[in-house]
A and B are shown apart, each in its own frame.
Chain A
């Protein structure tokens, strides 16, 4: 996984609550068996005026001029500012893959849906939950070319006016993201503990460790 330490990037405002993962990346693109290449289809139904299908060449498609990410001033934005419950609905990790592939590294909102929030950390994408008041103040502050600096180590956001905003993040998630660590490697370092758990559990629930758990074809 790509590590995240600090960035200074342009902010795109998406003033809408309950943005679901079906909207972030519509179902037809989930047919891909790859992990990359979802960026061109991010917010597909809102971003383009036609109906998108997998493997389409998006450079030829008609853009929706009213959609925020199509506006000239938000090209190359690296931070997305949104409203509450961002990423609700489907567990599809294609949503953070598409956001990351598009170029976002930080998402700021008053709240995120649990599965989506968790998925972001697996993909070098930092979701930051701030109070609704602070998020609202950022929406109001935002002008053309508005940039924020985000520092994960010190857990601070700095505005162009020099205002510092602190944010919370789990220490475990922070450590993994800062160092771009492989979760599976870290867990496998505890292989003995997992085996010990299995041995103890097998005494309490032997049926879980018998052949009966396997469906026969």
Chain B
């Protein structure tokens, strides 16, 4: 018999029972809750007279609707305010811990989970949010669910699931200077497509993945969903163990040693068999910029926008044409000739301290171009913000002409006041470039934090790897 994949191990460890048709009841170790996808679930519990199965496994925070300025004045939009207040009321009623807007630990749910050690290796982690895949970076099985399942997890601490297939995505070799985790994952999505991971759990492996920090691994797993996979995983190694040691909610004392021993088993066996294997060479990856309205429509920064006329698949050709029309771009146009109106550095993909450091290195001593109407830096959590300020990053950004904001999802999906106006173009470190995602009629180009900062300074996209190696 062949060995087990990491996904097989995590799955087997959480099966309560399996039905005849292969569906399994899976035990959920950690449930993260936010204000947008939970009100109807709590209402369902109330109507049925049910209580949470295990209160301690839930952790709630408001992130999507929260303002990133003037927090002391509360939330101006009455509909947003009601949603955030509803979360507070529900958590109080059902005995669930919530980090309020005034708590230094408040932030984007996928930033605070690992930061607090609320999500740990070996866990099953769910949240009513597709970017829950982020937590797979720790060797946890983490995936997004809908509101009905949020209610189901609250009531039973379990979910009925069908096991996905195993895909290995291997990135071998050394990255070039200026190329980051974001570029790796965009290159992967460009290769396998936005539906390439449908029905699979992706395990990211290879020397380039192992060389990433935990935060870089989170960026990669965060976007597994943009390749269609509900969950992305990375094996536990020394980097993982070091990251979780001393996190507030991580096990302590003897429990820690027991956990560490267990976590070190969280890797695919050498003889494990995957249903599909995809390989990329790290050295071939250059900084990436999306040009369309799906994350798979991505190009190298030194490249050009492809010509739909050369696409043989009629459906793809049409998607490309529609995307070019929406984005107001032309085939053959150089990526470096694209001029954003706004720049957004933030989101659950790229708002951690290392992301902010990478952007600050580029911004230091420079000025945001006059043509950029707004350049925002939105830290992922209150603690990230505090750390950045301790390092003086806020001053670097503010002196360069960026706005330094309070933590939340912000312009990634524009549920608060931070948004694009119709026709505006944005260099964004977020995860989705769908039509209208960052605001009605807005145009999104997904890039890494260093690339976003470089675009803010230059006023157009530039190859940050060239700036950083001093040749431009």
A interface, CB within 8 angstroms of B: 16-18, 20, 22-23, 26-28, 30-35, 45, 51, 54-55, 83-85, 88-93, 96, 111-115, 118-119, 122-123, 170-173, 183-184, 187-188, 190-191, 193-194, 197-198, 201, 204-208, 210-217
Contacts and interface: CB of A to CB of B under 8 A. Distances in A.
B147 A45 contact: no
A90 B164 CA distance: 19
Nearest to B436: A45
Interface in B77-136: 77, 79-80, 82-83, 86, 97-100, 103, 105, 116, 118, 122-123, 128-130, 132
Interface string B370-394: 0000000000000000000000000
B22 to A, nearest CB: 8
B329 interface: no
Interface residues of B, number: 95
Interface in B29-88: 29, 36-37, 39-40, 43, 48, 50, 53, 55-57, 59, 64-65, 77, 79-80, 82-83, 86
A32 B122 CA distance: 35
Contacts of A216: 97
A88 B40 CA distance: 22
A112 B146 CA distance: 15
B258 interface: yes
Contact of A18 (B16, B143, B294): B294
Contact of A214 (B37, B56, B195): B56
B262 A93 contact: no
A162 B143 CA distance: 42
Given A93-B147, A183-B160, 16 more contacts: A18-B194, A18-B319, A31-B82, A32-B79, A33-B43, A35-B43, A51-B440, A90-B432, A91-B145, A91-B146, A92-B36, A172-B160, A184-B152, A194-B156, A205-B262, A212-B252
30 contacts: A16-B319, A20-B294, A20-B434, A23-B434, A27-B414, A31-B65, A33-B40, A33-B86, A35-B147, A51-B422, A90-B130, A90-B413, A91-B146, A93-B148, A113-B198, A113-B228, A114-B164, A114-B198, A170-B23, A170-B162, A172-B21, A173-B23, A184-B48, A184-B152, A205-B262, A207-B251, A207-B255, A213-B56, A215-B59, A215-B248
Nearest to B195: A85
B161 to A, nearest CB: 9
A213 to B, nearest CB: 5
B440 A188 contact: no
Contacts of A114: 164, 198-199, 228-230
B158 to A, nearest CB: 6
B228 A85 contact: yes
B194 A205 contact: no
A217 B198 contact: no
A190 B25 contact: yes
Most A C-beta atoms less than 10 A away, residue of B100, B255, B441: B255
Contacts of B144: 91, 115
B436 A26 contact: yes
Interface string B203-232: 000000000000000000000011011100
A57 to B, nearest CB: 16
A207 to B, nearest CB: 4
B61 to A, nearest CB: 10
Given A83-B315, A85-B198, A207-B259, A184 B155 contact: yes
A35 B116 CA distance: 32
B268 interface: no
A31 B53 CA distance: 27
A187 B160 contact: yes
B19 interface: yes
Given A30-B415, A91-B146, A111 B195 contact: yes
B236 to A, nearest CB: 14
Contact of A93 (B17, B20, B146, B434): B146
A211 B56 contact: yes
Contact of B435 (A22, A184, A191, A214): A22
B398 interface: no
B385 to A, nearest CB: 19
Nearest to A136: B315
B156 A188 contact: yes
Interface in B147-179: 147-149, 151-152, 155-158, 160, 162, 164
Contacts of A191: 156
Contacts of B148: 93, 119, 122-123, 183
A214 B116 CA distance: 11
A88 B149 contact: no
The 10 A-B residue pairs with the shortest CB-CB distance, nearest first, are A207-B251, A93-B146, A122-B148, A119-B146, A33-B39, A85-B195, A91-B144, A207-B255, A91-B130, A93-B147
B83 A31 contact: yes
B418 to A, nearest CB: 12
A173 B22 CA distance: 11
A53 to B, nearest CB: 9
B460 interface: no
A217 B97 contact: yes
A190 B17 contact: yes
B415 A27 contact: yes
A114 B252 CA distance: 37
- For B132, B143, B294, B436, the residue with the greatest tally of chain A CB atoms inside 10 Å of its CB is B436
A207 B261 CA distance: 13
Contacts of B83: 31-33
B342 interface: no
Contacts of B248: 215
Of A26, A32, A54, A91, chain B has the most CB atoms within 10 Å of the CB of: A91
Contacts of A55: 79
